[in-house]
Amino acid sequence: MENYILNDGFAIPKVGLGTYGLRGELGVRQIETAIQSGYRLIDSAYNYENEGIVGKAIRNSGVSRDQITLTSKLPGRYHEYDKAMIAIQESIARTGLDYIDLYLIHWPNPKEDKYVEAWQALINAQKLGLVRSIGTSNFLPEHIDRLEKETGVLPAVNQVETHPNFNQEAQREYDASKGIITEAWSPIGRATDMMSNDLITEIAQAHNKTAYQVILRWHIQRGFLPIPKSGNYQRQRQNIDIFDFNLSEGEVAKINSMSHEDGRQKDQNPAEYQEF
């Protein structure tokens, strides 16, 4: 697996496994198969109620702990400093591991306006060794500017919705200007209409790859870090088998051109959406 280097010096795999909806003992087995297939970055969140099974899969995997990057995320209801510190410790305890590699603020919840306080807690948790790297999710440039101005500390990653219908080029440019890696959530658009898109199907046929492999390759060639979710062994393998071909600049540009202003998931604009 190829890596990006974060602004705090740690390496992070270029593709990760999304785990929203993977739960229970079946979830443990699904995450174990992903690790056996080569995944070394696992994305979880307090609100997915699966930190326990993700931790169990990592502990069962036989892969050494320091080879795996585990992400979790702080929910909106815990943005106050003291609550955030407890929530981080609860996340770690549920995993059964000693630390979490990457901890993100899940949503900025700008109407509550407590995300700077939450960020102070993540900074302190990093100093205490509870979490290795810290970052944000669904943060717009204005939110990151405030973190920088009020704390002087920038996120290592910013995880945002990105897929061909919503390519986030402006956000990526902003993140890159601050040394932040942009992770892509819903990177294959939740597998809805992408397969039937003629443009992507044509490119896929030219490379003898699936439409989803082309989309995931497109993310990487643009400098994004996609975290596709699959509970299925074969699809998990397909989603990381994307390092043996290159899209041309023209193909990348064609996929970029699919993006449109209202291409994001419904009601997921971080300027408005509140998640607790």
Ligand X SMILES: O=C(O)C(=O)[C@@H](O)[C@H](O)C(=O)CO
Ligand Y SMILES: NC(=O)C1=CN([C@@H]2O[C@H](COP(=O)(O)OP(=O)(O)OC[C@H]3O[C@@H](n4cnc5c(N)ncnc54)[C@H](OP(=O)(O)O)[C@@H]3O)[C@@H](O)[C@H]2O)C=CC1
Question: Alpha-carbon distance 203 to 216, whole Å?
Answer: 13
Site string for ligand Y, 151-170 (x = CB under 6 A): --------x-----------
Shortest distance (Å) from residue 161 CB to ligand X = 8
Shortest distance (Å) from residue 188 CB to ligand Y = 4
Radius of gyration of the chain from its Cα atoms, rounded to whole angstroms: 18
Residue from 4, 10, 20, 233 binding ligand X (CB under 6 A): 20
Q: Which is nearer to ligand X, 190 or 254 (CB)?
A: 190
- 103 counts as binding ligand Y under rule CB under 6 A: no
- Residue from 93, 94, 90, 69 nearest 78 by CA: 90
- What does 168 interact with, of ligand X, ligand Y, none (CB < 5 to 8 A by kind)? none
**Phi, psi (rounded to 5 degrees) for 55:** -60, -40
Question: Which amino acid is located at 5 in the chain?
Answer: I
User: Residue 141: CB partners within 8 Å, gap ≥ 6?
Assistant: 171, 174
Tokens describing residue 196: 């039937």
Residue 273 annotated in active site: no
Q: Which is nearer to ligand X, 135 or 203 (CB)?
A: 135
Find out whether 163 is annotated in a ligand binding site. no
- What does 126 interact with, of ligand Y, ligand X, none (CB < 5 to 8 A by kind)? none
- 241 counts as binding ligand X under rule CB under 6 A: no
- Residue from 141, 127, 137, 125 nearest 92 by CA: 125
Stretch that binds ligand Y, among 80-88, 109-117, 121-129, 225-233 (CB under 6 A): 225-233
**Active-site annotation holder among 4, 39, 46, 48:** 48
Give the residue closest to ligand Y by C-beta: 18
Stretch that binds ligand Y, among 15-23, 31-39, 59-67, 119-127 (CB under 6 A): 15-23
- 275 counts as binding ligand X under rule CB under 6 A: yes
**Phi, psi (rounded to 5 degrees) for 6:** -80, 165
Shortest distance (Å) from residue 60 CB to ligand Y = 20
- 268 counts as binding ligand X under rule CB under 6 A: yes
DSSP bridge pairs for 69: 41
Question: Alpha-carbon distance 76 to 196, whole Å?
Answer: 36
Residue from 45, 105, 147, 160 binding ligand X (CB under 6 A): 45
* Residues 275 and 239: beta-carbon distance below 8 Å: no
Question: DSSP for 63-127?
Answer: S-GGG-EEEEEE-GGG-SHHHHHHHHHHHHHHHTSS-EEEEEES---TTT--HHHHHHHHHHHHH
- Please give the residue ranges that form the binding site for ligand Y (CB under 6 A): 18-20, 43, 106, 137-138, 159, 185-191, 212, 227-232, 235, 238-239
* Residues annotated within a binding site: 106
* Residues annotated within a binding site for substrate: 106
- Give catalytic residues, as residue numbers: 48
- Please give the residue ranges that form the binding site for ligand X (CB under 6 A): 20, 45, 268, 275
